[in-house]
Amino acid sequence: MAAYRSAAGFQRVLHAVKHVCFSKQRCGVIICRYSTVYDPNEKTFDKILIANRGEIACRVIKTCKKMGIKTVAVHSDVDSSAVHVKVADEAVCVGPAPTSKSYLNMDAIMNAIKQTGAQAVHPGYGFLSENKEFAKRLAAEGVTFIGPDTHAIQAMGDKIESKLIAKAAKVNTIPGFDGVVKNVCPSLEGYPVMIKASAGGDVRKADLGIFLKHCHFSFCNPRLHVLADKHGNALWLNERECSIQRRNQKVVEEAPSTFLDPDTRRAMGEQAVSLANAVKYSSAGTVEFLVDSKKNFYFLEMNTRLQVEHPITECITGLDLVQQMIRIAKGYKLQHKQSDIPINGWAVESRVYAEDPYKSFGLPSIGRLSQYQEPLDLPNVRVDSGIQEGSDISIYYDPMISKLVTYGKTREEALKKMEDALDNYVIRGVTHNIPLLREIIVHPRFVSGVISTKFLPEVYPDGFKGHMLTAGERRELLATAAALYVAAQLRSQKFLGDLRVSVVPAESRQWELCVELDKSVHMLGVSRSGNNYTVEIDGEKVEVSGEWNLASALLPITINGKHRTLQCLLRTAAGEISLQYLGTSFKLRVLSKLAASLSKHMPEKVPEDTSSILRSPMPGSVVAVSVKPGDNVAEGQEICVIEAMKMQNSMTAAKTAKVKSVHCKAGDTVGEGDLLVELE
């Protein structure tokens, strides 16, 4: 189950129903990591092809290796050096970069199956995972689809049919119209309305046009994870809380939910199993519900595939869900009863994206990972990723870097571990959303469990601005920058243990510095004793100590007795220092007292008038241009549309003016910051 709460008082709970098998001696034991218990006498498949890419392909390959199954990766030409290609036993190129010509190219994937002799296909999630035609073609060739049969995919894929089936199975359904919406009733305006395309997917693809302007909709609903075999056995694997979202896409998930009580969980799980049995479901799946403030729940839809956030379910149950899917596809029965399924501890998942969180809570970023270090040296941390240092984040695919998972005996423990993991996660070369993730994790509203699908716009109505420093945190940051500056100066004076600059005496232990932060200037006094620094700021003393390894990506230090992990993102000879502190990057400038007095005479750069120009906020392709030179545009009027990583973004005029020049056309590829349109 996953749970979400919408602004209208609904919570989305996902119940997962799955057919599972794990050794009985594991029951009742605190198991945080999922475990693949491989029985060599239980034969499944010799070779499996994974019809996917990135982290989910790597995740499936990992379990296959534990089960002694050979793997085949498919890839586009731009993914030829991807991690999933490297870790698989075999790899086949299925076409050029666009997904329609590669990962969605059924003909090419079928040829790859024949070429390699794969006996089964795991589709992962997305792409062909819920495509009944693909499942039919596999069946026709005698190849096993590791997922439900075509009947279940068809029945649950049609949102109207699935609701009718749910009603017949005595599953709670949302009161309302069960047919196809053909036109808009003006009286709906102002009411909370949830819309789903009848064939599933993004509602924007349903060609609802003007309807979207009259309603509020959200994909956040209650979900429950289910697992079922081919022998009529089914289990529900508890819920997942997925209410923290941006643009109807989940950002932070956790299991179990803070909202559900045992009775509601059981009732929801039993209905999820009833629905799975009604369509003779066999595999892992997720049943979505809407839950209101009184804990009344209503069926919304069923996702007939492995969910993105399945790791948190694995953490609290100890089950390897990919292994269970493979066993079920081979025809084995579930080996456990519902009473065997535990909730052991708490798990939290943060989706780490190559996105700029300061732009609409996350617009895509591309580039090469010049430095990449996952926080796997920390206890109870799991990272599901499909990239490595040197990997490229391109415009063609989803910008997810990884799924960062932490777990503990309690929610408080899991959240603290997530906080530490985010501080220790090193990502360079692309803009990422760690600043936003960390702010969510420590926000009082999130910590209290009072969350909804409107969390982000409600908590940050003017957009995300990064961490807002308290007076104490500001002193910590200033003191750290000053201590780091002095440590760097001392290191630069030494060569093989000898002073290079004789005018600086070795016994120097005090410095007067000027530190600039957010256009404010602070005079600091710094004294040093070994690796310990005392920094005086506005009459307050701050003690900072650490190893000061300037070559390390991480900067673990102690500030006034409190342990902190910072990252030095930039340090120049001109005194510029960028520090990642409490998740957010802060730009500082540290100068000696003399240098600061001279810098006042330097001319300031005049900022660009952004109201008269329109630059692309992200890399992508131009879908449409709505204006031409000489046109008059109003403030807020759409000028062009940029598509990046499966999202279309409308670019609008910042003021009422006449178009001076247009620098792009439909079909152009643009980079972040490229000039699109100039206004007079």
Residues 137-150: tens digit of each pLDDT: 999 999 999 999 99
Average pLDDT along the chain: 86
Return the number of other C-beta atoms located less than 10 Å from residue 139's C-beta.
Answer: 13
**Measured distance CA(186)–CA(208) in Å, rounded:** 14
Number of H helices, E strands in the chain: 15, 39
Model pLDDT, residue 211: 29
Model pLDDT, residue 491: 84
Model pLDDT, residue 285: 95
Give residue 224's identity as a one-letter amino acid code. Answer: L
Digit-coded pLDDT (tens) for 621-667: 899 999 999 999 988 888 999 887 667 888 888 889 999 999 999 99
Model pLDDT, residue 493: 74
Strand order in the sheet with 669-670: 647-652, 638-644, 620-625, 669-670
**Measured distance CA(337)–CA(52) in Å, rounded:** 32
In a 3-state reduction of DSSP, which class is residue 66? Answer: helix
Model pLDDT, residue 617: 86
Q: Angle at Cα 658 formed by Cα 653 and Cα 662, nearest 5°?
A: 70
Q: How confident is the model at residue 674 (pLDDT cuts 50, 70, 90)?
A: very high
> What's the gap between Cα 429 and its chain centre?
18
**Measured distance CA(219)–CA(247) in Å, rounded:** 9
Residue 519 has pLDDT above 90, yes or no: no
Model pLDDT, residue 17: 45
Alpha helices in 399-495 (DSSP H): 411-423, 434-442, 444-448, 455-459, 471-492
**Measured distance CA(520)–CA(368) in Å, rounded:** 34
- DSSP secondary structure code for residue 215 in this structure: -
Digit-coded pLDDT (tens) for 453-463: 889 999 999 99
Question: H or E stretch including 677?
Answer: strand 675-679
Q: Angle at Cα 218 formed by Cα 3 and Cα 460, nearest 5°?
A: 85
Nearest to 61 by CA among 21, 41, 88: 88
Model pLDDT, residue 677: 94
- In sequence order, the β-bridge partners of residue 546 are 557
**Alpha-carbon torsion angle 76, 81, 85, 90, nearest 10:** 90
Question: Fold for domain 471-492+508-600?
Answer: Glycoprotein, Type 4 Pilin (3.30.700)
- In this prediction, what percent of the chain has a pLDDT beyond 90? 65
Predicted TM-score (pTM) of this structure: 0.85
Q: How confident is the model at residue 3 (pLDDT cuts 50, 70, 90)?
A: very low
φ, ψ (nearest 5 deg) of residue 448: -75, -15
Q: Are 638 and 575 within 8 A, CB to CB?
A: no
Model pLDDT, residue 347: 97
Residue 438 has pLDDT above 60, yes or no: yes
Nearest to 449 by CA among 256, 240, 258: 258
- Token pair in block for residue 631: 């046109």
Q: Are 104 and 127 within 8 A, CB to CB?
A: yes
Model pLDDT, residue 249: 85
Averaged pLDDT, 347-373: 93
Model pLDDT, residue 212: 29
Digit-coded pLDDT (tens) for 17-26: 443 333 332 2
The domain spans of the chain are 47-146, 154-177+222-459, 178-213, 471-492+508-600, 613-679
Ordered DSSP codes for 633-652:
E-TT-EEEEEEETTEEEEEE
Averaged pLDDT, 184-204: 51
Q: Are 94 and 102 within 8 A, CB to CB?
A: yes
Q: How confident is the model at residue 203 (pLDDT cuts 50, 70, 90)?
A: very low
Give residue 389's identity as a one-letter amino acid code. Answer: E
Model pLDDT, residue 364: 85
Catalytic site residue from 305, 351, 528, 564: 305
Q: Are 89 and 71 within 8 A, CB to CB?
A: yes
Return the number of other C-beta atoms located less than 10 Å from residue 648's C-beta.
Answer: 12
Model pLDDT, residue 572: 92
Please determine, looking at this structure, whether the domain spanning 154-177+222-459 carries the CATH number 3.30.70.360: no
Averaged pLDDT, 325-337: 94
Averaged pLDDT, 308-323: 95
Strand residue runs (E) in 474-575: 494-495, 498-499, 510-517, 520-529, 532-537, 540-546, 554-559, 562-571
Residue 549 has pLDDT above 60, yes or no: yes
Give residue 565's identity as a one-letter amino acid code. Answer: T
Model pLDDT, residue 363: 85
φ, ψ (nearest 5 deg) of residue 295: 70, 25
Return the number of other C-beta atoms located less than 10 Å from residue 417's C-beta.
Answer: 22
Q: Is 564 a catalytic residue?
A: no
Q: How confident is the model at residue 181 (pLDDT cuts 50, 70, 90)?
A: low
Averaged pLDDT, 386-405: 94
**Measured distance CA(290)–CA(298) in Å, rounded:** 5
Residue 38 has pLDDT above 80, yes or no: no
Model pLDDT, residue 30: 32
Averaged pLDDT, 192-210: 43
Cα distances (angstroms) measured from residue 160 to each of 195, 287, 299, 527: 11, 15, 12, 71
In a 3-state reduction of DSSP, which class is residue 188? Answer: helix
User: Does residue 298 or residue 610 have the better pLDDT?
Assistant: 298
The hierarchical CATH code for the domain 613-679 is 2.40.50.100
What is the residue whose two structure tokens read 């349903």? 206
Residue 388 has pLDDT above 50, yes or no: yes
**Measured distance CA(558)–CA(644) in Å, rounded:** 41
Nearest to 401 by CA among 452, 446, 442, 362: 362
Q: Tell me the Cα Rg of the chain.
A: 27
Digit-coded pLDDT (tens) for 248-292: 789 999 999 988 899 999 999 999 999 999 999 999 999 988 887
Residue 497 has pLDDT above 80, yes or no: no
Model pLDDT, residue 599: 79
Cα distances (angstroms) measured from residue 360 to each of 239, 251, 357: 29, 13, 7
Pick the CATH number of 47-146 from 2.40.50.90, 3.40.50.1000, 3.40.50.20, 3.40.50.620: 3.40.50.20
- In this prediction, what percent of the chain has a pLDDT beyond 70? 85
- In sequence order, the β-bridge partners of residue 563 are 558
- Token pair in block for residue 418: 């997530």
Digit-coded pLDDT (tens) for 52-87: 999 999 999 999 999 999 999 999 999 999 999 999
Model pLDDT, residue 34: 63
Quick check: do 471-492+508-600 and 613-679 share a fold? no
Digit-coded pLDDT (tens) for 218-254: 333 457 889 999 999 999 999 998 889 888 789 999 9
Give, to the nearest 10 degrees, the angle between helix 150-157 and helix 159-168: 100
Averaged pLDDT, 487-498: 74
Nearest to 486 by CA among 452, 454, 530: 530
Ordered DSSP codes for 314-354:
HHHH-B-HHHHHHHHHHTPPP---GGG----SEEEEEEEES
